[in-house]
Structure 1
Amino acid sequence: MSSWIPNIHIPGILKRSHSDAVMLTSRPSIQQKASLDLDCIPEVEGESEVLLLDEIKYLSGSLPPRILGADWRLVYSTSSKGFSLGNVYRSFQGKTGPTLVSIQDTAGAAFGALISEPIKMDEHFYGTGESFLFSVRPNRKIYKWTGENQLFVQGTSQSLIIGAGEGHFGLFIDSNLYKGRTQACATYGNEPLRTGEDFLIKTFECWTFR
């Protein structure tokens, strides 16, 4: 692994049964999804530099039931608040509810993650099976929790990690919101979210829901 990624301690992997996964990741009913598809696009407070309107609609249909159909609110953007993971943590102090991270790299790919709670600093992994990884450009795909482990999200002063297992990270972002890496990982059973594992960040955004 490249030297720019610091050594990260991964705790023992705890597996969940399929029944546990179903309980923690209850999905919206067919009726709910159909309703959202027909009713359309949520209210969006703030302008995304990463996601197109149809991509927002696509992601909205896969949100956890408790925020399905909720309005989107832009909380953090590198264009207005700078390239600093510390600034991201500060922006989420006092916030509640899930967070959606959207990233555009310098090659034009767009991808990210839904985190089941606000982004925070914590040396331990946190979150629930509501979390998922996604890509929207050039390919659209959502990767839900597999139940293999509970390595959902970890935030430190050095990095933000979403999904892990056997030394691989679903999504790794450095403290300067500059370099990143995406790999196949056990948590989400994902493929790399872009072509090639390593990337440079052009824009980093965080959204909340209400």
Structure 2
Amino acid sequence: MQDSKTPDPSPSQSSYFTYPVTYAVNGLLRRLAAEPSLSSSNSHASASTSMSPPTSLSQSLQSLASSTTASASSMMDSVFAPPPRRKASPFQPPPLTPLSLKGYKSSTREKGKLLSKALAEEIRLLVPPRLQLVDDWSLVYSLEQNGVSLATLYQKAEEFTGKRGGFVLVVRDAGGGIFGAYLSDAPKPSSHFFGNGECFLWRAHVLPSLPDLANLPPPPSADTTNAVRMTTIASPTHKFGTLNPPHSEQASRSGTSTPERIRFKAFPYSGINDYMMFCEHGFLSVGGGDGHYGLWLGDNLENGVSSTCPTFGNEPLSDEGTKFEVLGVELWYIGS
């Protein structure tokens, strides 16, 4: 047997393997040799730059102080000239045309009509602008004309489902109070809340008329030596206020003027929750949260509930308290 010997690597092969190692070592040595000089130059540069900012900063502060002092002295010496006032635009939107309430039958009693033009004008100012231009309101449902049934109200309102209009719900309680809500959608039975932030609750009542100053007794300091006895007979009062404006031949033609003896209060959407409208076959409700309804009506439209609710932050709408007896209900449609 012959001994096997490993062949010696050729010079070309050894140089092939040693060249990269030599190149890497030489590069590393050059890198280490260059770092001290680079670090020393960087330290000198940083030292020079760190010394320069204080000088420039002090100079800038001095120049700023001098300029501020000069400007302040010049402002004190000069005469104040107010800026020119902007002129109001001569173009004003036209007044709203008076409303027309359509839907009452000729046989409907006056005390059975809940919504007057004066009250409708107050509500009109709070509805969306696109609906303020509508001057014809249509009666959808009336307890006086259509009977006592929430199902009938739903059936009458179904005709307007899907239209870009609004609805005004009007309620009268046993104490003669008038209140209600503006609804962005037609009331209908649903398994969830619906409506948007355009909804709001409202209430209104008639203020007592101001006494005639001519019939008031004279003050204590007045001379009553020759005074004669006068007796004032009060006018009869009515249980239910009609909220109708007093007749006047010089009434304004603008649709936004209302008599001062109507106090109107509205409660807009608060943004706390989205419980605007919730209706079932057994009840109709507007506003809710924390176990309270802003306005709730039963299926027979005989009893109702109104409490403070987070949706509108309202006060109870009825003066009778949280629970009230319903004597009248109307639903009006605003739109084309």
Q: In structure 2, do the counterparts of structure 1 residues 192 and 73 end up closer, same or farther at CA, with 3 Å as the change threshold?
A: same
Q: Show the 5 A alignment for 1:8-23.
A: none
Computing the radius of gyration over CA atoms, which structure comes out larger, 1 or 2?
Answer: 2
One-letter amino acid of the counterpart of residue 86, structure 1? A
Structure 1 residues without counterparts, runs of 5 or longer: 1-33
Shift of 1:40: 4.6
Q: Show the 5 A alignment for 1:148-187.
A: 148-187=272-311
Contact 2:204 2:265 in 1 (8 A): yes
Q: Quote the residue 1:43 is aligned against.
A: 100
Q: Which structure shows the bigger proportion of residues in strand conformation? A: 1
Total equivalences in the alignment: 176
Q: Quote the residue 2:13 is aligned against.
A: none
Q: Quote the residue 1:105 is aligned against.
A: 173
Are residue 116 (structure 1) and residue 189 (structure 2) matched? no
Secondary structure of 1:92 counterpart: helix
Contact 1:171 1:182 in 2 (8 A): yes
Q: Quote the residue 1:89 is aligned against.
A: 154
Counterpart of 1:142 (choices 266, 270, 273) is 266
One-letter amino acid of the counterpart of residue 39, structure 1? L
CA–CA separation in structure 2 for the residues paired with 1:35 and 1:174: 43
TM-score by structure 2 length?
A: 0.50
Q: Quote the residue 2:138 is aligned against.
A: 73
Identify which range, 58-67 or 127-136, moves more after superposition.
58-67
Are residue 57 (structure 1) and residue 121 (structure 2) matched? yes
CA–CA separation in structure 2 for the residues paired with 1:200 and 1:61: 29
Q: Residues 52-100 of structure 1, C-alpha deviation per residue, up to 9 Å, x if partnerless?
A: 2211111111111221121210010011111111111111123132111
For the aligned residue pairs, the C-alpha RMSD in angstroms reads 1.6
Contact 1:161 1:170 in 2 (8 A): yes
Shift of 1:35: 5.2
Q: Which structure shows the bigger proportion of residues in helix conformation? A: 2
Contact 1:158 1:174 in 2 (8 A): yes
CA–CA separation in structure 1 for the residues paired with 2:294 and 2:98: 28
Contact 2:181 2:200 in 1 (8 A): yes
Structure 2 residues without counterparts, runs of 5 or longer: 1-91, 105-111, 207-262
Q: Residues 85-137 of structure 1, C-alpha deviation per residue, up to 9 Å, x if partnerless?
A: 11111111231321110011111000000010111110211000000000012
One-letter amino acid of the counterpart of residue 203, structure 1? G
One-letter amino acid of the counterpart of residue 140, structure 2? V
Shift of 1:41: 2.4
Identify which range, 131-140 or 44-53, moves more after superposition.
44-53
Contact 1:60 1:69 in 2 (8 A): no
Secondary structure of 2:158 counterpart: coil
Q: Percent identity?
A: 31
One-letter amino acid of the counterpart of residue 282, structure 2? Q
Shift of 1:164: 0.3
One-letter amino acid of the counterpart of residue 53, structure 1? K
TM-score by structure 1 length?
A: 0.79
